[in-house]
Amino acid sequence: MKQPLGVILAGGLATRMGGGDKGLLALGDRPLLAHVIDRLAPQVAGLALNANGDPARFDGFGLPVLADSIEGFAGPLAGVLAGLDWAAGQGGDAIVTAAADTPFFPCDLVPRLLLATEGMAAPLALAATPDPERGRVRHPTFGLWPVALRDDLRAALQGGLRKVVLWTDRHGGREALFAAGGTDPFFNVNTPDDLARAGALLGAAP
């Protein structure tokens, strides 16, 4: 399989941050989204951003901006579909997605996802971390998705499916397990307190 393309999912409503684009919030001396780009870009063959509304607000990042093709707020799977359609036009076999509000995800995200899907005809996997109470916790915005299943995903979304793991389980999706360590590598910025914590983790003033 070719090296996957990357898609950053920035289509959330950010209600707990008061609305707007979380990726444009300042973390240290740069936007949160810039930190995510720095993590994902070296791991993929090309990069795009999934976001709705006026794409001009992201002009400074120099990335293609992909809007959802499914009407209404259909959640992260709609962003995955937009990414798969874009990748198909680029001649790609698969995409890896990352959330725009998660600045510390693993620098080996893509190779670990690829390793987890060895031998699969349509490689499909989500990142997961161990939890002492719940077992493994899957992170549905961090995954490897095959272009070959994009029409199946489109039909599922048009039929009302919204929950990521229901669709991945249907297709035998696997998990790539990442150690949580002291800080959850998939810690995401949902609230002003989270943004302050991310600033502290970065070594910047909150």
* Helix, strand or coil, per DSSP, at residue 140: strand
Distance (Å, rounded) from C-alpha 140 to C-alpha 126? 6
The domain in which residue 176 lies consists of 5-202
* Residue 127 or 2, more confident: 127
pLDDT reported for residue 84: 98
pLDDT reported for residue 206: 36
Looking at residue 164, which CATH number applies to its domain?
A: 3.90.550.10
Query: Which amino acid, residue 40?
Result: L
pLDDT digits over 58-98, tens only? Answer: 999 999 999 999 987 788 999 999 999 999 999 999 999 99
pLDDT reported for residue 60: 95
* Residue 19 or 105, more confident: 105
What single string gives the DSSP state of each residue in 30-91? Answer: EEHHHHHHHHHGGGSS-EEEE--S-GGGGGGG---EE--SSSS---HHHHHHHHHHHHHHTT
Q: Comparing C-alpha atoms, which of 140, 191, 184, 186 is closest to residue 25? A: 191
pTM: 0.92
pLDDT reported for residue 201: 87
> How many domains does the chain fold into?
1
pLDDT digits over 11-63, tens only? Answer: 755 433 445 688 899 998 899 999 999 999 999 999 999 999 999 999 999 99
Q: How far is CA 13 from CA 21, 25, 171, in A?
A: 8, 14, 28
Are the beta carbons of 86 and 147 closer than 8 angstroms? Answer: no
pLDDT reported for residue 74: 82
Residue 173 pLDDT > 50: yes
pLDDT reported for residue 19: 53
* Residue 206 or 54, more confident: 54
Distance (Å, rounded) from C-alpha 136 to C-alpha 143? 15
pLDDT reported for residue 18: 40
- Report the run of H or E that residue 153 belongs to, with start and end: helix 150-158
pLDDT reported for residue 102: 95
Tell me the two tokens of residue 81. Answer: 């579909």
Residue 193: CB atoms within 10 A of its CB come to 11
* Helix, strand or coil, per DSSP, at residue 157: helix
* Residue 74 or 187, more confident: 187
pLDDT digits over 128-163, tens only? Answer: 999 878 778 999 999 999 999 999 999 999 999 999
